[in-house]
């Protein structure tokens, strides 16, 4: 191989091709994706998360929660995601259009969290319960004690203090980071039935109806 | 083999080596420090999986942060420094003249290592990004790019100033890696950190970057070293050298499309994993051709260099086959999101590291003009590394398979899943510790060789190169 310029041009072109195909190709497909406006409900989906939840996402990112938790539900026929109660439909690109840093994750040491807020709601779990779980940990998840601070009670108790853990005269208060993280986790919901999220199921009964 | 390499083969210790001794030794020293650091972090990280409460009270070492720190140390610290050192050494040897621009190299390497260090601290203190293998905080990333340009400059000079107009396979792979890294590194920084693209397009770009890091950087550097070492030590012509060029281009063209294999079933266009599967099959053409040219690698004899190279190459082939097979939807349904993916990554890392160990074992005595001070440490490093990687990869693979099948059965709770794979992770932790011991032995031996005074007696050993590479048997 003697032709230096052609060699470098070839290298450059090979990488540009994959970049154009994957990055620009996906951009062409998803770049214009808009929230879906539902006329009946008079709202656009997905709904924007409240500001406190967006700040909580940064805590989720910097603690590296994504190293054990995914936020993507696979379609019901692919794996046991639906059977484990993680979501009744697959996650689609539209679910993430409002997220600055979608963290779909690549490891499931813990459960998927794409619909964590929905599950907590159904189980009647409040923010205080979630904070207690973060403080105590579970069998597989470590306790995140550094997200809480113990302080002396001066005057009245803080109304967000955890119940029954601190010694007398002290209280255990979640830091702002813990509060925002909990708000973020409780905001995670992928509920709206977008047309593209319906599983492909050829239904013979409906065929004549259209 | 072509005449290109034989021109420098006649004298093993040459001005080419001694002139770049200081600069390259600095890079190798830094790379080995990162290798040991990354090994410690990887061990802590693995222990946390079977004992979640380990270090849980320390906010610097959450599982996610430790994982990012160990990956950054190993990829940018170990692979970055060692890869550049090996690439520059190969390019200067094959270019037939001493390395020029070593000042740039030293300055670049200094800032590169400062960058990795800042990056690791930044992750520990909560500034990590959300992209795997690109976790360093955004304020470090531009520095890394500039430092890289300085480090790679001597490689470009060695290529343009080469004595021989025709080039050898080693040079294609080495120069391609040096040239392509800044391209995709800057594109990823731009599209993910500074002007982030929307939604899950970030996941696609991130997967593209992570795959390029292996297919267009680590793999070409390893193969460059193989094409140099194997014919040189075996002293034989490569049987299918005419095809080498097709092998090269098939890696460059297909390898870069494989990133989407981890996005199967995810919220991205469905064609991305499909294309990745196709590319993972097509890239095997590259592996076949390299295999044909390296056929002599498996035969017995030939010191620790060739043994490292042999196992590194086998890991490379096995990794490619496993990547291709498990990029299919049916199998990925089980292995996706499990330790099996960690095993695949460790296999890729092992192929790179083992071939780098082969090259360092060949190159360091020549650079410093002395034989390894301790043959025992060379042997210890070899045995610990081979055994460590084999056990680590197999145990992670088994743990991942168990985890995957159990996760797909919704009747099995997470606690039961964890209890099933825990014994295998204990084995994996032991293997990781063994790797750490081996790498520490290499570091100690390297530090000692730096302080060996070159004497007439040691340079006489170069006349019988067989003495130089400590035998592992």
Structure tokens at B316: 């490379």
Structure tokens at B430: 């032991």
Q: With an 8 Å Cβ cutoff, are B67 and A26 in contact? A: no
**Residues of chain A positioned with their CB less than 8 A from the CB of B65:** 62-64
Chain A residue with CA closest to B173: the answer is A11
Does A63 reach chain B within 8 Å, measured CB to CB? yes
The Cα-based distances of A124 to B159, B322, B413 in angstroms read 67, 44, 21
Please give the DSSP secondary-structure letter assigned to residue B58: -
Convert the pLDDT of each residue in B113-169 to its tens digit: 999 999 999 999 999 998 999 999 999 999 999 999 999 999 999 998 888 888 899
What gap in Å lies between CA B306 and CA B357, rounded to an integer?
A: 10
Ranges of residues in chain A with a pLDDT under 50 are 207-210
Peptide bond into A46 cis (omega under 30): yes
What gap in Å lies between CA B228 and CA B286, rounded to an integer?
A: 17
Position A43 scores a pLDDT of 86
What gap in Å lies between CA B421 and CA A108, rounded to an integer?
A: 13
Q: How far apart are the first and last CA of chain A?
A: 62
The Cα-based distances of B209 to B92, B190, B224 in angstroms read 29, 12, 21
Q: With an 8 Å Cβ cutoff, are B267 and A72 in contact? A: yes
Q: With an 8 Å Cβ cutoff, are A62 and B126 in contact? A: yes
Q: In degrees, to the nearest 5, what angle opens at C-alpha B369 toward C-alphas B363 and B371?
A: 75
Position B19 scores a pLDDT of 78
Position B1 scores a pLDDT of 35
Residues B226/B355, Cβ–Cβ less than 8 Å: yes
Convert the pLDDT of each residue in B99-122 to its tens digit: 888 999 999 999 999 999 999 999
Position A207 scores a pLDDT of 47
Position A73 scores a pLDDT of 95
**Residues of chain A positioned with their CB less than 8 A from the CB of B205:** 22-23
The Cα-based distances of B400 to B53, B139, B156, B198, B347 in angstroms read 21, 35, 42, 32, 14
- Out of A102, A111, A139, whose CB is closest to B200? A102
**Closest Cα to residue B314, out of B341, B350, B283, B284?**
B350
Torsion of CA B396, B401, B406, B407, to 10 degrees: 80
What gap in Å lies between CA A6 and CA B249, rounded to an integer?
A: 13
The CA R_g of chain B, rounded to the nearest whole Å, is 22
What gap in Å lies between CA B76 and CA B80, rounded to an integer?
A: 5
**Residues of chain A positioned with their CB less than 8 A from the CB of B59:** 146
Position B8 scores a pLDDT of 37
Does A41 reach chain B within 8 Å, measured CB to CB? no
Predicted ipTM? 0.91
Say how far residue B409 (Cα) sits from the centre of its chain. Answer: 36
Position A115 scores a pLDDT of 95
Residues B404/B429, Cβ–Cβ less than 8 Å: no
Structure tokens at B357: 């160990």
Query: Which residues are CB-neighbours of B250 under 8 A, at least 6 positions away?
Result: B282, B283, B285, B286, B289
Convert the pLDDT of each residue in B432-443 to its tens digit: 999 999 999 999
Residues A150/A172, Cβ–Cβ less than 8 Å: yes
Position B53 scores a pLDDT of 87
DSSP string, B426-447: HHHHHHHHHHHHHHHHHHHHHH
Q: Minimal Cα–Cα distance from B338 to chain A, Å?
A: 6
The Cα-based distances of B402 to A72, A73, B328 in angstroms read 21, 20, 18
The Cα-based distances of B432 to B65, B75, B293 in angstroms read 18, 16, 32
Position A204 scores a pLDDT of 54
* Residue owning tokens 């290798």: B35
The CA R_g of chain A, rounded to the nearest whole Å, is 23
Each residue's pLDDT tens digit in chain B (473 positions)? Answer: 333 333 333 344 567 777 788 999 999 999 999 999 999 999 999 999 988 888 888 889 999 999 999 999 999 999 999 999 999 999 999 988 888 889 999 999 999 999 999 999 999 999 999 899 999 999 999 999 999 999 999 999 999 888 888 889 999 999 999 999 999 999 999 999 999 999 999 999 999 999 999 999 999 999 999 999 999 888 888 888 999 999 999 999 999 999 999 999 999 999 999 999 999 999 999 999 999 999 878 777 778 999 999 999 999 999 999 999 999 999 999 999 999 999 999 999 999 999 999 999 999 998 988 889 999 999 999 999 999 999 999 999 999 999 999 999 999 998 899 999 999 999 999 999 999 999 999 999 999 999 876 554 455 555 455 545 554 43
- Whether pTM exceeds 0.90: yes
Chain B residue with CA closest to A74: the answer is B265
* Residue owning tokens 């790679």: B152
Position A196 scores a pLDDT of 83
What gap in Å lies between CA A154 and CA A194, rounded to an integer?
A: 51
Task: Give the number of other Cβ atoms within 10 Å of residue B277's Cβ.
Answer: 23
């Amino acid at each position: 191989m003697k032709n230096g310029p052609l060699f470098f041009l070839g290298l450059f072109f090979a990488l540009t091709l994959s970049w154009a195909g994957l990055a620009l190709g996906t951009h062409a497909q998803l770049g214009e994706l808009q929230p879906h406006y539902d006329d009946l409900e008079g709202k656009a989906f997905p709904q924007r998360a409240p500001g406190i939840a967006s700040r909580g996402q940064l805590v989720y990112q910097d603690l590296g929660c994504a190293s054990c938790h995914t936020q993507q539900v696979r379609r019901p026929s692919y794996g046991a995601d639906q059977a484990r109660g993680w979501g009744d439909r697959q996650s689609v690109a539209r679910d993430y259009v409002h997220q600055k840093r979608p963290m779909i994750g690549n490891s499931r040491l813990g459960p998927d969290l794409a619909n964590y807020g929905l599950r907590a709601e159904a189980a009647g779990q409040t923010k205080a319960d979630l904070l207690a779980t973060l403080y105590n940990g579970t069998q597989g998840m470590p306790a995140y004690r550094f997200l809480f601070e113990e302080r002396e009670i001066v005057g009245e108790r803080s109304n967000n203090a955890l119940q029954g853990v601190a010694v007398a005269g002290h209280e255990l208060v979640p830091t702002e980071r813990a509060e925002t993280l909990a708000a973020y986790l409780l905001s995670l919901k992928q509920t709206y039935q977008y047309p593209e999220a319906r599983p492909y199921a050829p239904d013979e009964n409906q065929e004549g109806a259209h | 083999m072509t005449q290109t390499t034989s021109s420098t083969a006649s004298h093993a210790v040459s001005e080419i080596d001694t002139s770049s001794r200081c600069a390259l030794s600095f890079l190798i020293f830094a790379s080995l420090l990162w290798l040991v650091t990354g090994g410690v972090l990887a061990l802590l990280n693995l222990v946390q999986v079977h004992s979640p409460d380990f270090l849980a009270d320390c906010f610097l070492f959450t599982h996610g942060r430790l994982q990012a720190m160990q990956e950054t140390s190993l990829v940018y610290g170990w692979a970055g420094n060692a890869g550049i050192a090996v690439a520059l050494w190969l390019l200067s040897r094959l270019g037939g003249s001493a390395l020029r621009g070593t000042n740039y190299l030293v300055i670049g390497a200094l800032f590169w290592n400062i960058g990795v260090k800042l990056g690791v601290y930044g992750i520990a203190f909560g500034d990590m990004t959300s992209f795997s293998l690109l976790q360093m905080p955004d304020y470090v990333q531009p520095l890394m790019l500039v430092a890289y340009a300085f480090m790679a400059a001597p490689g470009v000079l060695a290529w343009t100033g080469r004595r021989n107009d025709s080039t050898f396979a080693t040079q294609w792979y080495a120069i391609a890696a040096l040239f392509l890294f800044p391209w995709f590194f800057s594109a990823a920084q731009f599209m993910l950190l500074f002007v982030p693209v929307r939604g899950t397009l970030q996941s696609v770009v991130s997967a593209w970057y992570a795959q390029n890091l292996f297919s267009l950087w680590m793999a070409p550097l390893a193969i460059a070293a193989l094409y140099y070492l194997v014919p040189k030590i075996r002293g034989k012509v490569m049987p299918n050298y005419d095809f080498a060029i097709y092998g090269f281009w098939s890696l460059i063209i297909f390898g870069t499309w494989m990133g989407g294999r981890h996005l199967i079933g995810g919220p991205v266009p469905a064609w991305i994993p499909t294309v990745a599967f196709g590319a993972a099959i097509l890239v095997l053409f590259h592996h076949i051709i390299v295999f044909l040219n390296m056929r002599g690698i498996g035969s017995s004899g030939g010191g620790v260099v060739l043994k490292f190279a042999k196992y590194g190459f086998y890991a490379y082939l096995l990794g490619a086959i496993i990547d291709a097979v498990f990029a299919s939807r049916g199998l990925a349904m089980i292995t996706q999101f499990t330790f099996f993916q960690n095993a695949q990554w460790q296999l890729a890392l092992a192929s790179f590291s083992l071939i780098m160990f082969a090259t360092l074992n060949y190159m360091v005595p020549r650079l410093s003009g002395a034989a390894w001070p301790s043959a025992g440490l060379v042997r210890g490093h070899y045995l610990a590394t081979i055994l460590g990687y084999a056990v680590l990869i197999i145990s992670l693979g088994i743990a991942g398979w168990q985890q995957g099948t159990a996760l797909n059965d919704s009747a099995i709770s997470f606690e039961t899943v964890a209890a099933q794979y825990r014994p295998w992770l204990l084995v994996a932790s032991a293997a990781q510790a063994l790797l750490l011991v081996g790498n520490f032995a290499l570091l100690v031996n390297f530090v000692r060789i730096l302080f060996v005074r070159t004497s007439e007696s040691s340079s006489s050993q170069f006349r019988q190169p067989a003495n130089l590479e400590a035998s592992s048997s």
